Each structure stands twice: as structure tokens, then as C-alpha cells.
Structure 1
């Protein structure tokens, strides 16, 4: 009953006018950039909830307001951090999907490489020449990824390295194969 009488004596508008700076203080103290006033709005909601649930027997109102506002701002930061992390995961997954070696960029638009199934891989002299003129890791990329069609992630696991490292082997190999001088050296007579 006394709680209700205190609320009737002090309206939320008065509480807001007296404590608006408290919200700004907590935002500033936590080094939060708030250009769109999202955190201020969150602090305002916390102030309202604290006003509604305040019990004078538990301690001073100002301390309770500070506690409620600060914790609500921390919750918002955590929520936004989780959202950003999830978005980054989705972007990374999409990027990996586009950069997995089965695409080529033409005019900045990734395009799938044509399906080469049915292509004969029985030119042993070519494979031996390639193995002789590539590094061990570049040859592993050719053998495992091109010939045996093992996914990049699986190759990385087998070789105890990262997927990015395996992609790097492929980039180095493709770079060598684009070199006309290298193709002549191994007897590969196609234009890439």
C-alpha cells in the first residue's frame, strides 16, 4: 500500500526528468557509441521497469536505477554481439562456398567452373611431369583435389592443416599452370 502511495506522489515523468542523465551517464561510463539512441531507449525501458518494480525496503532508489540501467545495457551489448557473430558466420560460410576452388571470377562475378566429369585422366606422362615440377603440397592439391575429388576440408583434415592453406596450394598451382613457360616445360599444350 505504501509503495502505491509513493508512486502516486511521484509520477514517472518526474522520475524520468530527474534520472534522464543517469541513463546518459551509464552509456558514457560503458563507452557505448549510441548515434541512433538505441541504448538510450533501452536505458529508458530499464528505468521504467525499475520504477515499476522498486521496493523501498530493498535499498535506495538511485542505486536500484543504476543497477537496472547498467545491466539492461550490458544485456543489449551481449545480444548485439551475438547477432553480429551469427551474421559473420553466415558471411564466412557464403564466402567459403564461393571461394572453394570450384569457381572462377569473371568481371567480379563468381561463376561455377564447368563440370569436367568424363575427362580422361590417363596421361601418365603429364601427371609425372607435373609431380616432378610442382612442390609437394601443390602436387597433393592436384592429386587429392583434382584427381581424387576429395573436398578441401577433408584434405585439410588429412594433412593436419587449415582449409585456407589447402586453398593456397591450389592458387599457387593454378598460377603455375597459367604460365605459358611452365606449360611448355611439362609438355601441356593447351591455352588457359
Structure 2
């Protein structure tokens, strides 16, 4: 058993020496800035899994290339979604500006936002974003459930994304 494990490790180290340049090539081809080595590590994992499943087949190089490329793209998408989610979360969870006259800062902007939303969604914007109230508190005040208030928030995000696009840098 130990001899087999050592043989696999030795074989994989040879595979790594042969295919490591493929990982670097794909990172470069996909224009990835890999400061932390996270994408390289994902490439190594993909190479290992490809080695475990497909080593010895004639199509091993092609399968390995596709596997590594797919994993890197998946990681790009995952990071992109995470960044987008963090940005939206920061927007909706920042400390509220406790100014009851916030509409006076840019009345045209707030009119545009208000016109894009339903009455309940505008209540969400006023109470959650402008006043900084909690979801439970809003639900209690509006006589509804927290899930309903969360639903208003999701719809606000969906509706305001295209409306706010010109304001985002």
C-alpha cells in the first residue's frame, strides 16, 4: 500500500513537472492576477483530480486542459459573484445617514428611485437604507413578516440595479 502511494506521488510529481506550465499558461491566457496563488492552487487541484480520473488515456492532455480551464473560470465567476454581493451588501447595510431630509440632497435622484419602485419597496428604501432600521423592526411597523420585507429588499436591488448603473463608478 505504501509503495503504491509513493508511486502515485512520484507519478504525480512527474505529471506536475510536465503540466505545471499549462496551469501558468491558462492563468496568463485568462488574464488572471494571482497575487495570492489561489488560482494556481485551484489549477493544481484540477490537475490532481484529472490525474486521478483520467491518467493513462490518450485524451489525458485535452481533458486536463479543459478541467483546469473550467476550474479557473469557475473561480473567476465565484469571486465575481462574491464581489458583486459584497458591494450590494455594503450598499444596503452601511450605516444610515440619520438625516430625515435626505431627499433634499438630490431630489431628482430620489424621485427617480421612488418612481422605479412600488409603495412597499419605497418603504423599504426609506426605513432600511435611509433610516437604517432593522428588517424585524420594519416588519413589525408594517404589520408583515420579515420574509416579506426581505422580498421587498430583493426586488429593490433588482429594480435599482439598472437605474443606479449610471451613478456607479
Pair 151,102 (structure 1): closer, same or farther in 2 beyond 3 Å? farther
The structure with more radius of gyration: 1
- Paired with 1:83 and 1:56, the residues of 2 have a C-alpha distance of 37
Q: 1:103 to 1:94 in 2, by over 3 A?
A: farther
The two structures have a TM-score, normalised by structure 1, of 0.47
In 2, are the aligned partners of 1:46 and 1:72 still within 8 Å (CA)?
A: yes
Task: Give the TM-score of the pair, scaled to structure 2.
Answer: 0.53
Residues paired across the two proteins, number: 109
Shift of 1:103: 8.2
Matches within 5 A, 1:43-62: 43-54=43-54, 56-57=56-57, 59-62=58-61
The answer to whether 1:18 aligns with 2:37 is no
Deviations 1:114-160 (A, max 9, x none): xxxxxxxxxxxxxxxxxxxxxxx79xx9xxxxxxxx99925x9xxxx
User: Per-residue displacement from partner, 1:4-31 (whole Å, max 9, x unpaired)?
Assistant: 9xx86x7101000111111000000000
RMSD, aligned α-carbons = 3.6
Gaps of 5+ in 2: 112-118, 126-159, 164-169
Distance of aligned partners of 1:76 and 1:15 in 2 relative to their CA distance in 1, 3 Å threshold: same
Partner of 1:185: none
Counterpart Cα distance in 2 of 1:91 and 1:27: 30
Alignment partner, residue 102 of structure 1 = 100
* Higher relative strand content: 1
Quote the residue 1:86 is aligned against. 85
Q: What is the distance in 2 between the residues matched to 1:37 and 1:103? A: 48
1: CA distance, partners of 2:85 / 2:69: 25
Q: Distance in 1 between matches of 2:73 and 2:13?
A: 25
Greater relative contact order (Cα < 8 A, sep 6+)? 2
The structure with the greater share of residues assigned to helix is 2
Q: Alignment partner of 2:22: what SS?
A: helix
Q: Runs of 5+ in structure 1 lacking a partner?
A: 105-136, 142-149, 157-161, 166-192
